[in-house]
């Protein structure tokens, strides 16, 4: 059996009782940590309390007093569950094929219940049957919990620049890629990304946006929802409507340029974060914690060779002058900003 956080598991306790009278029958089941009782589905095919044996057919071999609500577990109960059945008579003249009294119940794997966030985890519960004149009989069942696991988010420049990157804010364009992979054993649902832009990046220049899973491009609106930055220094936000399966990777590629209205020799960064993801769709189940942020640093140092002053005498052309004569000097200024 395989389940995810938030899933409901159906268990069946099969009590194989000898023919004749069995006194003070009690069934117990110890739930694993992080699970809670939901409901008793049926006892010996009866689905409503007080639970009584059927008059005919499967299970009609048994005779016992009605089992009231007070004798079964309550909703949201954790730990040890107890069904107090009392004295049971199994008709010796009945059908030998129906000597099993079955309790079917449901339990839910709880979110935020301290379950370790790992890809696979075994959840084992142990049931016991007790009655007068015999030691307890025990049996165990195991459910394997599968969880999504996004361990890191990366941000790189497809143009080959490494962080921290020297950039010319007048001419350079960043070619960013965000990437996150699901290394877990279950799909990650409703994955959300935020890429926080620095004020030096020009949000109006964002171009060539491509969102993909394992290299297959996704369709905006149906597969994901993109919210562009509302202002300078804002954030790009992505919400995925499709799950990220185990072993799959999400990539978000885009190009972006710079503003040029700030001085040189500055350093800034933008940061990418996986804000949240879930164990079940809608979203529901377990909301997993953010991953990141990861930053990519940029800086706009001034190249000293571009700033060597060059001063010449504009007039007189001979560069010779008498006392009282006006001299005109020329100092050239770059036609474009020198790194802003």
Residue-by-residue pLDDT tens, the chain, 340 positions = 899 999 999 999 999 888 899 999 999 999 999 999 999 999 999 999 999 998 877 778 899 999 999 999 999 999 999 999 999 999 887 766 677 899 999 999 999 999 999 999 999 999 999 999 888 889 999 999 999 999 999 999 999 999 999 999 999 999 999 999 999 999 999 999 999 999 999 999 999 999 999 999 999 999 999 999 999 999 999 999 999 999 999 999 999 999 999 999 999 999 999 999 999 998 889 999 999 999 999 999 986 555 556 677 767 877 777 787 888 877 776 666 667 6
Cβ contact 178:269 at 8 Å = no
Query: What DSSP string runs through 119-164?
Result: SEEEEEEEEEEEETTEEEEEEEEEEEEE---EEEEEEEETTS--SS
Q: Give the pLDDT of residue 232.
A: 97
What is the spatial distance between Cα 191 and Cα 238, in angstroms, rounded to a whole number?
Answer: 8
What is the spatial distance between Cα 268 and Cα 166, in angstroms, rounded to a whole number?
Answer: 11
Q: Give the pLDDT of residue 313.
A: 74
Q: Give the pLDDT of residue 307.
A: 56
Q: CA nearest 3: which of 177, 181, 124?
A: 124
3-state secondary structure of 58: coil
Distances (CA, A) of 303 to 162, 297, 310, 328: 19, 19, 16, 29
What is the spatial distance between Cα 42 and Cα 63, in angstroms, rounded to a whole number?
Answer: 16
In terms of Cβ atoms closer than 10 Å to its own Cβ (0-12, 13-18, 19+), residue 209 is: middle
Q: Give the pLDDT of residue 93.
A: 78
What is the spatial distance between Cα 326 and Cα 340, in angstroms, rounded to a whole number?
Answer: 35
Q: CA nearest 144: which of 102, 104, 184?
A: 184
Cβ contact 187:257 at 8 Å = no
Q: Give the pLDDT of residue 199.
A: 97
153-189: buried (b, 16+ CB within 10 Å) or exposed (e) per residue?
A: bebbbeeebeeeeebbbeebbbbbebbbbbebbbbbb
What is the spatial distance between Cα 291 and Cα 191, in angstroms, rounded to a whole number?
Answer: 11
Beta-carbon contacts of 96 under 8 Å, excluding residues fewer than 6 positions away, are: none
Q: Give the pLDDT of residue 328.
A: 83
Q: CA nearest 274: which of 179, 187, 162?
A: 179
What is the spatial distance between Cα 202 and Cα 234, in angstroms, rounded to a whole number?
Answer: 10
Q: CA nearest 169: which of 140, 200, 148?
A: 200
What is the spatial distance between Cα 68 and Cα 54, in angstroms, rounded to a whole number?
Answer: 16
Counting Cα atoms < 13 Å in the Cβ hemisphere of 109 gives 27
Q: Give the pLDDT of residue 59.
A: 76
């Amino acid at each position: 059996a395989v389940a995810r956080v938030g899933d409901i598991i159906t268990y069946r306790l099969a009590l194989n009782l000898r023919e004749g009278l069995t006194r003070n029958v009690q069934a117990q089941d110890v739930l694993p940590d992080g699970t809670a009782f939901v409901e008793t589905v049926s006892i010996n095919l009866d689905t409503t309390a007080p639970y009584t044996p059927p008059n005919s057919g499967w299970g009609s071999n048994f005779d016992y007093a009605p089992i009231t609500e007070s004798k079964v577990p309550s909703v949201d109960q954790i730990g040890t569950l107890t069904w107090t059945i009392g004295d049971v008579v199994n008709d010796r003249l009945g059908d030998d094929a129906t000597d099993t009294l079955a309790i079917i119940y449901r339990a839910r794997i709880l979110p935020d219940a301290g379950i370790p966030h790992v890809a696979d985890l075994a959840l084992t519960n142990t049931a016991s049957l007790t009655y007068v004149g015999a030691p307890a009989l025990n049996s165990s069942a195991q459910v394997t919990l599968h969880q999504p696991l996004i361990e890191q988010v990366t941000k790189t420049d497809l143009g080959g620049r490494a962080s921290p990157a020297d950039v010319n804010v007048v001419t350079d364009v960043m070619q960013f890629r965000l990437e996150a992979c699901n290394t877990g054993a279950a799909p990650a649902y409703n994955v959300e990304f935020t890429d926080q832009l620095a004020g030096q990046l020009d949000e109006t220049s964002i171009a060539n946006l491509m969102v993909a899973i394992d290299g297959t491009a996704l369709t905006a609106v149906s597969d994901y929802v993109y919210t562009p930055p509302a202002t300078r220094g804002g954030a790009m936000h992505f919400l995925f409507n499709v799950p990220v399966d185990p072993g799959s990777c999400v990539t978000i590629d885009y190009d972006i340029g710079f503003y040029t209205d700030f001085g040189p020799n500055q350093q800034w960064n933008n940061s990418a974060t996986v804000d949240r993801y879930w164990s079940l769709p809608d979203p529901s189940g377990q909301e997993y914690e953010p991953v990141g942020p990861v930053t990519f640093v940029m800086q706009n140092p001034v190249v000293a060779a571009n700033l060597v002053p060059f001063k010449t005498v504009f007039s007189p052309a001979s560069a010779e002058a008498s006392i009282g004569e006006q001299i005109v000097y020329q100092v050239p200024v770059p036609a474009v900003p020198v790194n802003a």
